[in-house]
Amino acid sequence: AAMREETIEKTKTVCTYCGVGCSFDVWTKDREILRVLPHEDSPANHISTCVKGKFAWDYVNSEERLQKPLVRKDGYFQEVEWDEALSVISNRFSEIKNQYGKDALAFISSSKCTNEESYLMQKLSRQVIGTHNVDNCSRYCQAPATQGLFRTVGYGGDSGSIEDLEKAEMVITIGTNTAEAHPVIASKIKRAHKLLGQKLYVFDIRKHEMAERADKFYKPNPGTDLVWLSAVTKYIIDQDWHNKAFISEWVNDFETYYESLEPFTLEYAENKTGISQAELKHIAKQITEVNTLSICWAMGVTQHRIGSDTSTAISNLLLVTGNYMRPGTGAYPLRGHNNVQGCSDMGSMPNTFPGYQDVSDDEIRHKFEKAWNVSLDSERGLDNHEMIDSIHEGKLHSLYIKGEDTGVVDANINYVRAAFEKIDFLVVQDLFLSKTAEFADVVLPASPSLEKDGTFTNTERRIQRINKALEPLGDSKPDWEIIQLIAQSLGVDWDYKHPSEIWFEAQELMPLVKGVTYDRLEGFDSLQWPMNDDGSDTPLLYTERFNFPDGKAKLYPLEFNIESKQTEEMSLHVNNGRVLEHFHEGNMTYQVPGLKYKLPRNFCEISEELAKEHGIENGARVKITSKVGTTEVNVQVTDRVTGNYIYIPLNDQNEGAPNFITDSDVDKDTNTPAYKDNYAKLEVIS
Ligand code: SF4
């Protein structure tokens, strides 16, 4: 036994699935992953994890892993050596840049990758190619939440730590299936609710586990959260229940904002949302009776045509009731991917350099131009959504996608895949030959988190180290090394020996994380941005000021004037989301036999009423058709959904993939696809 113990390596890492950022030791022997053991010192999770963090690592050693670069020759992929793949890439990038200009190239970063890799991807785009055309998948999820918080309080991040949620007297969740999408956060809320008397109010269109547990579960009509939020806020002010002391000290624009609430009467809100006036009054009263309120939200809010406005309405309500600046209060947009927060923080965004420093600000731009010895445009680049349009318009000729299955996870994927058919040059870097990779000219084999060093930043702005437990499989390489090789093949003299050197360079340019060093992230140590001048970090945002020049927050007036997309023919509302067992597009979790066994194939939930109306039996196969496409799947008749609402998990790309039927509508302020705002019809096939 002693011998065996000696050959076991224990390496601290961070989960590569959701944004909770659970950390643990991974026990390995050679390439075998023996055990995942969380630690009392694990800051976000202590001794908990969910099934994915604990068991979903088989993808690392999957036989499907890419182990050699692939280059398309005469229509077919051929395995090649790195040198050849790199020379194809540098030649094509250079040709396209010479022929069409720098903005004919674009880059998509991955929020599964490390902060250092996100930094390098945007540096490749900006310094080496000279374009701001770089983005990441927060465009598909939480960009609207970030926008709502930028408008009102100034930082696009959770107001407190995950553990602060347990201190809230009341938690409201809106459009988040927390128990399945952020299991460890849900367990904290469940505990506080059960043992500490925390009030839990859940707003969603589907009765998931948190809805079952809630003190109150409300089901507003799809896409109308802004209305009940604004009506409740107005009612609170009308009743003189707002927090006048907090507002006068900390909040600007109260009068203009209050005037803008005029249309949001209780009657109007009842009409639009379906929540009765009595219940709206009850919600307002309940909110003002507690001392501390935290609001958590996710894709059910953001993936709408007014995702940013609804996120803003949440923050407005928190400001009017004084629910910022104390533990147990504030805004919690729950981040999806392990490093979606960090990927945006590090500047893989078309409008901001690392640290949310605006590309249009001359002083900031000059700082980066000087650091990178390059001259850059003052206008922002293309976001993910615009990149696809731009390919169709013949303006974008090359796309380099790292760790993102865009042809599955973007909305309206028939349109996206048609763009990939059209584009001159597509490079995809991933662990597997994803659907997107099938369209590529060059495919590069990357390494997963267990095979590299770096840092991730979780939903509570916590920066944590990941450490390499395994050597890269075959000829695969960590993403940072690949990006560096591409940059070098294009003639720049990058010479990073280790991710710590990339991080060091980045933090020098980013006041947000200045002073964070690898030394301070040893073991289970972590730091939460923003960093302060005295070197301390910030577990609770906004203790002394909001992030605006005068230190005061802003109330932001909103309107509600969108039309429902429901028609007589397309009358079923199609919702989509996660299941506990699988993650996102399923590329990693479907490589895990245990999870695949638990949930082998996708399904579509339909209500008992709908089943009856159409004579549909449980398990029947149906074809679901929207105005842009069709998908087929077997149904599950359930009371989790009611009436005309159907629900399809998004994790299976072969069976019932919902993005064949989501259309190209987007949030008007961020271009985030309105994935949760689609209507369809359904017919039974067998
Ligand atoms: Fe924690 Fe999320 Fe990973 Fe589960 S998926 S272990 S909750 S980080």
Per-10-residue mean pLDDT, the chain, length 686: 70 92 95 94 91 90 96 97 98 98 98 96 98 94 93 94 95 95 92 96 96 97 97 98 98 98 98 98 98 97 97 98 97 90 95 97 98 98 97 98 93 96 98 95 98 96 97 98 98 97 98 97 96 95 94 98 94 86 71 72 91 92 95 93 91 79 95 95 90
Spell out where 403-522 has E strands.
Answer: 425-430, 442-445, 454-457, 462-466
Residue to probe by mutation, ligand 1, list 182, 460, 588, most atoms within 8 Å of CB = 182
Q: Using the mean position of ligand 1's atoms as its centre, give its distance from the Cα of residue 338 in Å.
A: 8
List the structure tokens of 415.
């349109």
- Write down the pLDDT at residue 3: 52
Q: CA-CA distance, 197 to 369, in Å (whole number)? A: 54
pLDDT at 588: 77
Amino acid at 322: G
Q: Give the integer Cα–Cα distance in Å for 19 and 458.
A: 5
- Of the candidates 680, 645, 669, the residue with the CA atom closest to the CA atom of residue 144: 669
Shortest-distance atom of ligand 1 to CA 583: 5
- Provide ipTM, 2 decimals: 0.99
Specify the residue for token string 């001259």. 375
Q: How far is the CA of 256 from the centre of ligand 1 (A)?
A: 42
Cα dihedral 62, 68, 73, 77 in deg (nearest 10): 0
CA-closest residue to ligand 1 atom 1: 22
Nearest to 21 by CA among 3, 46, 2, 4: 46
Read off the tokens for 617: 């039996």
Tokens 């004919």 correspond to 104
- Domains of the chain by range and CATH? 2-61 (2.20.25.90), 70-140+339-528 (3.40.50.740), 143-334 (3.40.228.10), 572-684 (2.40.40.20)
Cβ atoms 297, 333 nearer than 8 A = yes
Phi first, then psi, for residue 414 (nearest 5°) are -60, -40
Q: How many angstroms separate the alpha carbon of residue 17 from the centre of ligand 1?
A: 6
Alpha carbon separation from 409 to 205, 227, 450 (Å, rounded): 22, 29, 24
Ligand 1 near 50 CB (within 6 A): yes
Q: Is the C-beta atom of 336 inside 6 A of ligand 1?
A: no
- Closest residue CA from atom 4 of ligand 1: 50
Q: Where are the beta strands (DSSP E) in 197-281?
A: 199-203, 216-218, 251-252
Q: What is the DSSP string of 469-480?
A: -SPPSTT-B-HH
What is the spatial distance between Cα 174 and Cα 176, in angstroms, rounded to a whole number?
A: 6
3-state secondary structure of 530: coil
Determine if ligand 1 sits within 6 Å of the CB of residue 44: no
Atom from ligand 1 closest to the CA of residue 14: 8
Task: State which of 13, 14, 20 you would mutate to test the pocket of ligand 1, scoring each by most atoms of that ligand within 8 A of its C-beta.
Answer: 20
Report the nearest atom of ligand 1 relative to the CA of 54. Answer: 6
Do residues 377 and 402 touch, judged by C-beta distance below 8 A?
no
- Are the beta carbons of 335 and 142 closer than 8 angstroms? yes
Atom of ligand 1 nearest to the CA of 18: 2
- How high is the pLDDT of residue 582? 66
Q: What pLDDT, on a 0 to 100 scale, did the predictor assign at position 5?
A: 60
Mutation probe of ligand 1 site: the residue of 46, 48, 49, 177 with most atoms within 8 A of C-beta: 49
d(CA 380, ligand 1 centre) in Å: 34
> For ligand 1, is residue 186 a contact (CB within 6 Å)?
no
Residues 6 or more apart whose Cβ sits within 8 Å of residue 71: 77, 78, 80, 84, 85, 88, 441, 442
**188 CB near ligand 1 (under 6 Å):** no
Q: What is the DSSP letter of 637?
A: E
**For the chain, how many residues are written?**
686
Distance 502 CA to ligand 1 centre (A): 27
User: What value, to the nearest 5°, has the Cα angle with vertex 308 and ends 307 and 311?
Assistant: 85
d(CA 219, CA 641): 10
Work out which ligand 1 atom sits closest to the CA atom of 15: 3
CA distance 163 to 185: 9
What is the number of the ligand 1 atom nearest to the C-alpha of 20? 8
Q: Give the DSSP per-residue string, 10-54.
A: EEEEE-SSBTT--EEEEEEETTEEEEEEE-TT-TTTTT---HHHH
- For residue 52 and ligand 1, the question of a CB distance below 6 A is answered with yes
Residues 557, 211, 47: CA angle, nearest 5 degrees: 100
What distance in angstroms lies between residue 162's CA and the mean position of ligand 1's atoms? 13
Q: What is the pTM of this model?
A: 0.94
User: Where is 76: in which H helix or E strand?
Assistant: strand 76-79
Nearest to 579 by CA among 186, 188, 142, 208: 208
Closest ligand 1 atom to the C-alpha of 458? 8
Pull the structure tokens for residue 342.
């960090």
Q: How many CB atoms lie within 10 A of CB 429?
A: 28
Residue nearest to atom 6 of ligand 1 (CA): 53
Q: Is 49 in the pocket of ligand 1 (CB under 6 A)?
A: yes
384-392 helix and 413-422 helix, angle to the nearest 10 degrees: 60
**C-alpha 29: how far from its chain's center?**
33
Name the closest-CA residue to atom 2, ligand 1: 18
- Report the atom number in ligand 1 closest to the C-alpha of 338: 8
Confidence at residue 102, expressed as pLDDT on a 0 to 100 scale? 98
